[in-house]
């Protein structure tokens, strides 16, 4: 038994330190990979949400513009000129503009009633912002609406989706 206590078999302090160092290195590599995968997942999800929001916005615009009638250029209280039209879906004379407060697209009634967002807050996920790149334009000779829609991230530093659409009203 005395011989067993004095035995030199086992690990030295330097061997244990090297083992701990290797384990720390392996752990840090795995943790870095987890962070990279998480960031990739967030970016993919954000782009998918942006595409969904863009598609929803285009559908909402198409509904209003496809059946537009009485299309005219007006100058409204903010001194800008907008293309206004009668919307068959909404039942009133309206125009579209960007809202600086809510960072979205507003549907404005020419009679002065409060503006409403084109897409609801429930549609806008991940804090995304949908805007008209330029104001709605209308070519009177071709009878064609043109608008570019952009989806930005919440701090407006990155464009996630953008699409130009052209719609010819049925009633033109």
Q: What is the pLDDT of residues 106-147, one digit of tens each?
A: 898 888 788 888 888 888 888 899 999 888 999 999 999 999
pLDDT the model gives residue 103 = 66
- Specify if 24 maps to a domain: no
Q: Is residue 6 part of a domain?
A: no
pLDDT value at residue 34:
86
Q: What is the pLDDT of residue 40?
A: 92
Rounded mean pLDDT, 55-75: 91
Is the distance from CB of 160 to CB of 152 less than 8 angstroms?
A: yes
Whether residue 133 is contained in a domain is answered as yes
Please check whether residue 101 lies inside any domain of the structure. yes
Which of 158, 90, 72, 73 minimizes the C-alpha distance to 106?
Answer: 90
Q: Are 92 and 107 in contact (CB under 8 A)?
A: no
Is residue 8 situated within a structural domain? no
Quote the domain boundaries for residue 142. Answer: 30-167
Residue 13 resides in a domain: no
What's the confidence (pLDDT) of residue 5?
57
Percent of the chain clearing pLDDT 90 (strictly above): 40
Q: CB neighbours (10 Å) of residue 74? A: 13
Whether 172 is covered by a domain: the verdict is no
Higher pLDDT, 27 or 103: 27
The pLDDT of residue 3 is above 80: no
- Specify if 121 maps to a domain: yes
> Averaged over 89-103, what is the pLDDT?
82
How many domains does the chain fold into? Answer: 1
Share the mean pLDDT of the chain: 86
């Amino acid at each position: 038994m005395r011989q067993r206590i004095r035995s030199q078999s086992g690990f030295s302090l330097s061997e244990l330190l090297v083992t701990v160092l290797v384990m720390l290195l392996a752990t840090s590599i795995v943790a870095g990979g987890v962070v990279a995968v998480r960031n990739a997942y967030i970016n993919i999800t954000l782009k998918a949400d942006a595409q969904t929001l863009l598609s929803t916005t285009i559908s909402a615009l198409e509904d209003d513009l496809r059946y537009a009638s009485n299309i005219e250029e007006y100058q409204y209280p903010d001194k800008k000129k907008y293309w206004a039209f009668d919307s068959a879906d909404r039942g009133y004379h309206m125009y579209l503009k960007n809202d600086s407060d809510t960072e979205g697209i507003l549907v404005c009634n020419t009679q002065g009633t409060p503006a409403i967002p084109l897409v609801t807050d429930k549609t806008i996920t991940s804090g995304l912002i949908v805007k008209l790149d330029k104001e709605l334009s209308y070519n009177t000779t071709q009878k064609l609406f043109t608008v570019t829609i952009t989806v930005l991230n919440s701090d407006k530093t990155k464009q996630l989706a953008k699409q130009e659409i052209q719609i010819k009203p049925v009633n033109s």
